[in-house]
Amino acid sequence: KVCFCDTNGELGTKTLSELQSKYGEGNAMFQTCDVSLQQPMENLFKKVKETFGCLDIVCNNAGIGGEVYPLWEKTIDVNLKGTTRGTLLALEHMRTDKGGKGGVIINISSAAGLNVNPLSPVYSATKAGIIALTRSLAMNSEVKSAGVRLNVVCPAFVDTDLIKEINDDNCLDVQKASKFIEMIGVVSKEVVVDCFMELVRDVNQNGAVVKCSKMDGTQYTSIEVKPVT
Ligand SMILES: NC(=O)C1=CN([C@@H]2O[C@H](COP(=O)(O)OP(=O)(O)OC[C@H]3O[C@@H](n4cnc5c(N)ncnc54)[C@H](O)[C@@H]3O)[C@@H](O)[C@H]2O)C=CC1
Ligand SMILES: CCCCCC(=O)/C=C/C=C\C=C\C=C\[C@@H](O)[C@@H](O)CCCC(=O)O
């Protein structure tokens, strides 16, 4: 069973029909929802719990790029605040000490957050924030004992609308960005999905940061953690 949300109602409804005809009407749910808004997101999580009984897997995937005011501020609202909101709501619903059954949260960051992307600095900062948020919660002892794992996927360029729609508002130099993308290469969506599924299935993965790129393939990164006692 799956529920997904997006601000794009038309595309969401089309995808919902495809999922329902493949997996059955009762097994897929779509809600138009803006991840940057607290109340609609709270309502959505409640509705999923009421409809499906519990939440096992949550993916915070919504993301945009924007480097020029007011879009840069919206980029922080959607990417960093939206992912933080989705992560905290998921935790509330999943933790065994609050009536949940445990589960896994997978957040979608970017290679631009793991390394840097000089042509999209605000985007890059939001994605670095997502990595820090996810890893910090994964290392939190109360979260661990409440049965929730958290991992983060950091794709380099992927064949989606995001890179097809690069323009002067969301990138500091479109020409340089196009050359950069050509140099780094573009991975298919399937590569990212495979990586996501591995992090869902492997119950030993908690706090993992995985980069998927055309140039280097799929790599687990290693970042030293000093335990807090
Ligand atoms: N395409 C790429 O090269 C890369 C993408 N990513 C990340 O992957 C994730 C998915 O993006 P893509 O599929 O590539 O782009 P996309 O533009 O195809 O999909 C993003 C989706 O997020 C939705 N969305 C935007 N704002 C929203 C909001 N406030 N609330 C709810 N939904 C909202 C959009 O309507 C769209 O359907 C994003 O977090 C992106 O930053 C990471 C690295 C590389
Ligand atoms: C709406 C579009 C805004 C632009 C969004 C954007 O900048 C997206 C970036 C996505 C990935 C960026 C990756 C950058 C990677 C490099 O810093 C470097 O790590 C790549 C190294 C080569 C590799 O494939 O590993």
Q: Same structural domain for residues 163 and 58?
A: yes
Q: Same structural domain for residues 75 and 148?
A: yes
Domain-embedded: residue 126: yes
Domain-embedded: residue 109: yes
Name which residue sits closest to atom 3 of ligand 1, judged by CA: 157
Q: How many domains does the chain have?
A: 2
Q: Same structural domain for residues 15 and 77?
A: no
Q: Which atom of ligand 1 is nearest to the CA of 159?
A: 1
Domain-embedded: residue 37: no
Domain-embedded: residue 229: no
Q: Same structural domain for residues 61 and 134?
A: yes
Residue 26 domain boundaries: 1-32
Out of 6, 14, 39, give the residue to mutate to test ligand 1, the one with the largest number of ligand atoms within 8 Å of its CB. Answer: 6
Q: Same structural domain for residues 5 and 91?
A: no
Q: Same structural domain for residues 20 and 48?
A: no
CATH number, position 146: 3.40.50.720
Burial of 218 (0-12, 13-18, 19+ CB in 10 A): middle
At 159-205, the pLDDT tens digits run 999 999 999 999 999 999 999 999 999 999 999 999 999 999 999 99
Is the CB–ligand 2 distance for residue 184 below 6 Å?
yes
Is the CB–ligand 2 distance for residue 79 below 6 Å?
no
At 37-92, the pLDDT tens digits run 999 999 999 999 999 999 999 999 999 999 999 999 999 999 999 999 999 999 99
Name which residue sits closest to atom 11 of ligand 2, judged by CA: 156
What ipTM is given for this predicted complex? 0.94
Asked if 123 is an active-site residue, the reply is yes
